[in-house]
């Protein structure tokens, strides 16, 4: 009878070790859940950014206004007959 109790006690201790410390422990599961949550948040931000980029690509493919705006702001282009004024602010020392 003592051997059965001793064997069951050792088995219980091994199971408790695995539950609290070993592979698949509660701490590890909690850590993995936090990583999953953080990755989900990052995926949401990236999906939103992708939607914005898709909308911008669609505008550039279909609309002339977007192309003109891009040419003016990024490339500094002007239309024929327009006058370009550049205002330079002087910084005070």
Cβ distance 56 to 50 under 8 Å?
no
Task: Assess if residue 38 is contained within a domain.
Answer: yes
**Residue span of the structural domain in which 21 resides:** 2-73
Task: Assess if residue 11 is contained within a domain.
Answer: yes
Q: What pLDDT does 86 receive?
A: 80
Residue 49: pLDDT band by 50, 70, 90 thresholds? very high
Task: Assess if residue 68 is contained within a domain.
Answer: yes
At 1 the three-state DSSP class reads coil
Residue 91: pLDDT band by 50, 70, 90 thresholds? confident
The number of beta carbons lying within 10 Å of the beta carbon of residue 70 is: 14
Q: What is the mean pLDDT of residues 45-65?
A: 90
Look up residue 16 and give its two tokens: 């408790």
Task: Assess if residue 41 is contained within a domain.
Answer: yes
Task: Assess if residue 88 is contained within a domain.
Answer: no
This prediction has a pTM of 0.53
Task: Assess if residue 86 is contained within a domain.
Answer: no
Position 55 pLDDT exceeds 80: yes
Task: Assess if residue 43 is contained within a domain.
Answer: yes
Task: Assess if residue 85 is contained within a domain.
Answer: no
Cβ distance 50 to 44 under 8 Å?
no
Count how many domains the chain has.
1
The number of beta carbons lying within 10 Å of the beta carbon of residue 40 is: 9
């Amino acid at each position: 009878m003592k051997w059965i109790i001793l064997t069951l006690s050792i088995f219980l201790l091994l199971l408790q070790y695995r539950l609290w410390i070993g592979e698949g422990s509660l701490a590890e599961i909690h850590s993995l859940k936090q990583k999953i949550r953080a990755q989900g948040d990052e995926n949401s931000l990236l999906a939103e950014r992708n939607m914005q980029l898709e909308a911008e690509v669609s505008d550039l493919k279909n609309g002339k206004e977007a192309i003109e705006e891009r040419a003016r702001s990024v490339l500094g282009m002007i239309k024929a007959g327009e006058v370009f004024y550049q205002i330079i602010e002087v910084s005070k020392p």
